[in-house]
Chains A and B, each alone.
Chain A
Amino acid sequence: MKSLTEKLAILSDAAKYDASCASSGGAKRDSRDGKGVGSSGGSGICHAYAPDGRCISLLKILMTNFCIYDCAYCVNRVSSKVERARFSVEEVVRLTIEFYRRNYIEGLFLSSGIIKSSDDTMADMVRIAKTLREREGFRGYIHLKTIPDASPELIEEAGKYADRLSINIEMPTEAGLSQLAPEKSAKGIRKAMGEVRLRREASREVTHTGKRRAAFAPAGQSTQVIVGADAADDRDVLTQSANLYANYGLSRVYYSAFSPIPDASRMLPLKKPPLMREHRLYQADWLLRFYGFDVSEIASQGMLDLEVDPKTAWALAHREQFPVDVNRAAREMLLRVPGFGVKTVDRIVAARRRGAVRFEHLVAMGAVTKHAKPFITLPGWTSRGLDDQALRARYAPAPEQLSLF
């Protein structure tokens, strides 16, 4: 019989490959009434950072790492020889509450290997969420991973107790998924996402008697895709993301550079992808969602540039569209200037109603003028060097080593 500490070690080690740590956007709750514990609804809080640079916001664990699936990229696949453990419902509840009361975490992120069947597994996970909410009066954040093919009744219940639901799409293409995860089906995963979107929309409609319905996964749904374990390029990855955002209204797509795992399957590539690839995908994802870029614009080459960020890469490749007149250009064009973020652009648009914006004002508005300089003109500054072949070199720093301590 393993101790709680031993189980925790095994089942948190097994959960680390899920990148999501978001704890924002949950239903507004607090415990000022003194009858429960916890609050949520504001921006998320990262309570610690691990030396891998990732934030620790939630108690991220698997209920069990026993699994009947054989997904090549996963450390918990049935054919792997990792040590196995299983938490009881009570153990997960106790860990969550005790960690929460000490202000270590914002809540629970519960995932699981699949034991017996999808429904058996999902039912146990729902039981944990239900016990936390109903018996312990827990008002913190709960993120439940939904199990592929779990029954609609269980998903309905999961969405009632959880702030966020997620199901991982795992691979950028259907072919990649069926090759590496033979038991999973991309269509089945997408159907599950569609169901969650429909339920979320239905929960926001008032009933015909004018009452509000119970919230369903108020913090939305997210997914994760593993990058670098199959042959898909960045365009494939981003095309899928744009599709998922449009189809299922996802809050986030997380990218996880395939990371060496203990007892790795021989089907996996020997070389791990550079972490920079993952970083560039996140940048590109942001450009798709907040900057009005299209996948075909930023990933026309198939792979993103590893040396320069995708926005700068686009600007360098489309110099004919610059320099941009900061006082006249449309908001859409300002958003395409390297060194200007969404906030900066909003400030510029607000400020230029009061009078001309000068170069000296830009820093106070949050612009990174060093990056923006060649691409803009405004009083106090004239663009120079746009046609200089060496311009790119100014944005592509010499490679630097990442781990020094």
Chain B
Amino acid sequence: MRQVVLPIVGTVAAWRTEARALAAEGIAPEHVIWHRGAAPPDLFAGDAPKGQGRSLTIPRAALAEIEAALCHSDPERFARAYRLVLRLNDGLVWGDRSDPDIRRMMEHAKSVRRDIHKMHAFVRFREVPSDGRRAFAAWFEPEHHTVEAGTPFFAKRFGDMDWVIATPEITARFDGKLTFHETVGAERPPEDATEELWRTYYANIFNPARVMVKAMQSEMPKKYWKNLPEADLIPGLIRDADRRVAEMAAHEAEEAPARRLAVARRMAVPERPVPTAGTLDALRAEAAACTRCPLHAPATQTVFGVGPPDAEVMFVGEQPGDQEDLAGRPFVGPAGQVFDQEAEAAGLDRSRLYVTNAVKHFKFAPRGKRRLHQKPNGSEIHACNTWLDQELALVKPKLIVAMGATALQALTGSGEGILKRRGQVERLEDGTPVLVTVHPSYLLRLPDPELAKVERRRFREDLEQAARLAQS
């Protein structure tokens, strides 16, 4: 039998070196006895038969898991890990949970990671006197051998202070550099005054109306309590919870003084200037509260038209999209960008246009974290016509451009055959000319890039025609 003694500090790194050396000598796992710290005298110690030597190659994922598992408190871990790395070299596939060695290794790695996580959570520093930068110390009792793997986290987090985390076995010390040594004569650091504030916080953030002790203990097991300054409050908090809830129920609310309520009310609802009746601003404010069809409920806001109240050309689109719904302005999304580019290229002054939609709320179906655009139906278009009609009546444009079938339907009563009607000028009942074109989002949906180019050019030609008509 070969005896291997691993040091208390640097155990995992030493195991790796030893395992490589043993494998190079071809020593079988059943001929190795592993110790950590001092080796007890062993009657069977001696040398082990050597076999065929080999060098170990282990997948990175496996090694990370094995090294975590080596921090476990199970005394068999070193032998099991050595056996497993040899088997992995012999063709065993890492990740197969039906293999008992692999599964045990994964389970151990998992409990070690949990123990490290609990260390990150439950270490409680106390401030200690220092000549230089601020210094803190903590006493912690981990379940496994996790100090070396768990404390680099604190070095990243508390880089501007000195600290010590002492455990029964190993002490980690940080003064700009993290070092480990065996613990001698461990002492808990003395209390510091901030602990009382923390206890105050803990007691007051607790809600006595929903006591769930089991849920607390599964995450904060009692074994950790002795080093948590807040833990001795727990029994008292639980004991008093029912009484406190009963007191709340018995205590009838008293009315606050009317004067205070009135003052608060005036402050909470500040007066806003009311727009003059009969203007676009007044219409916009009225439309913001529109509930004439069900589309208002899932949408963010009414997206009303924008542009000068005396614009000569009014563009009417279908409905706001995702971006417009969030921003509250029409034509700011991808289709709006196409519109901006083509309008500019066609010689239209964007700041002189009135741009609006036939339907003022975004219609969509929720899919996870996205919203799928849906076409508004006849009754929704009809419900929204009241706003479009009033916009037309106030702006009195010389020319209207209907973009897409929905706009065409809202303006003329029929959206049928848009592709045949595009480029032509139709008339409203009052004689206002309506130039028909497609919606810019149609250009974005065309899958064939050649066709998209052609259609985009035709769209620009329509806008150029609009520019000519507006000037005539």
Residues of chain A touching chain B, judged by Cβ–Cβ distance below 8 Å, are 4-5, 8-10, 12-13, 15-17, 30-39, 45-56, 59-61, 67-70, 78-81, 95, 98-99, 101-104, 114, 116-117, 137, 174, 183, 187, 190-191, 193-195, 197-198, 242-243, 245-249, 257, 259-266, 272, 275, 289, 347, 360-361, 364-365, 402-405
Point out the residues of chain B lying under 8 angstroms from A249, CB to CB. 369
Residue of A nearest to B134 (CB): A101
Interface size class of B (residues with CB under 8 A): 35 or more
Complex partner residue of B120 from A4, A45, A104, A243, CB under 8 angstroms: A45
Q: Complex formed: what's the CA distance from A78 to B241 in Å?
A: 26
Complex partner residue of A51 from B120, B153, B192, B234, CB under 8 angstroms: B234
Please tell me if the beta carbons of B204 and A52 are within 8 angstroms of each other in the complex.
Answer: no
Complex partner residue of A402 from B212, B249, B323, B328, CB under 8 angstroms: B212
Point out the residues of chain B lying under 8 angstroms from A347, CB to CB. 97
Point out the residues of chain A lying under 8 angstroms from B136, CB to CB. 101-102
Q: Which of B7-15, B18-26, B297-305, B308-316 is the contact stretch?
A: B297-305
Q: Complex formed: what's the CA distance from A12 to B199 in Å?
A: 12
Please tell me if the beta carbons of A37 and B253 are within 8 angstroms of each other in the complex.
Answer: no
Q: Provide 14 A-B residue pairs closer than 8 Å at the C-beta atoms, listed in order of the A residue.
A: A5-B196, A13-B205, A32-B156, A48-B220, A50-B207, A51-B211, A51-B212, A51-B237, A68-B264, A68-B265, A190-B301, A247-B300, A364-B98, A403-B211
Please tell me if the beta carbons of A198 and B206 are within 8 angstroms of each other in the complex.
Answer: no
Please tell me if the beta carbons of B157 and A38 are within 8 angstroms of each other in the complex.
Answer: yes
Q: Complex formed: what's the CA distance from A105 to B129 in Å?
A: 22
Interface members, chain B 250-304 (any A CB < 8 Å): 251, 253-256, 260-261, 264-265, 267-270, 288, 297-298, 300-301
> Is there a chain A Cβ closer than 8 Å to B417's Cβ?
no
Please tell me if the beta carbons of A70 and B265 are within 8 angstroms of each other in the complex.
Answer: yes
> Is there a chain A Cβ closer than 8 Å to B219's Cβ?
yes
* Chain A binding surface SS class: loop
Complex partner residue of A34 from B176, B238, B245, B255, CB under 8 angstroms: B176
Please tell me if the beta carbons of B253 and A264 are within 8 angstroms of each other in the complex.
Answer: yes
Please tell me if the beta carbons of A36 and B159 are within 8 angstroms of each other in the complex.
Answer: yes
CB distance from A26 to the nearest CB of B (A): 13
Q: Complex formed: what's the CA distance from A135 to B16 in Å?
A: 45
Complex partner residue of A242 from B155, B160, B366, CB under 8 angstroms: B366
Point out the residues of chain A lying under 8 angstroms from B255, CB to CB. 79
Greatest chain B CB density within 10 A among A69, A114, A183, A405 is at A405
Q: Complex formed: what's the CA distance from A30 to B127 in Å?
A: 21
Q: Complex formed: what's the CA distance from A81 to B196 in Å?
A: 27
Residue of B nearest to A258 (CB): B209
Assuming the contacts A78-B256, A262-B248, asked whether A404 and B213 have C-beta atoms less than 8 A apart, the reply is yes
B194-236 Cβ-contact flags toward A at 8 Å (1 or 0): 1111101111111111111111100110000000101000110
Q: Complex formed: what's the CA distance from A56 to B122 in Å?
A: 11
Point out the residues of chain B lying under 8 angstroms from A247, CB to CB. 298, 300, 325-326, 366, 371
> Is there a chain A Cβ closer than 8 Å to B161's Cβ?
yes
Assuming the contacts A104-B198, A190-B300, asked whether A34 and B159 have C-beta atoms less than 8 A apart, the reply is yes
Q: Complex formed: what's the CA distance from A262 to B97 in Å?
A: 53
Point out the residues of chain A lying under 8 angstroms from B207, CB to CB. 16-17, 50, 52, 54, 259
Please tell me if the beta carbons of A33 and B159 are within 8 angstroms of each other in the complex.
Answer: yes
Please tell me if the beta carbons of B160 and A137 are within 8 angstroms of each other in the complex.
Answer: yes
CB distance from A18 to the nearest CB of B (A): 10
Residue of B nearest to A347 (CB): B97
Q: Complex formed: what's the CA distance from A8 to B136 in Å?
A: 24
Please tell me if the beta carbons of A16 and B206 are within 8 angstroms of each other in the complex.
Answer: yes
Complex partner residue of A243 from B138, B216, B366, CB under 8 angstroms: B366
Please tell me if the beta carbons of B371 and A102 are within 8 angstroms of each other in the complex.
Answer: no
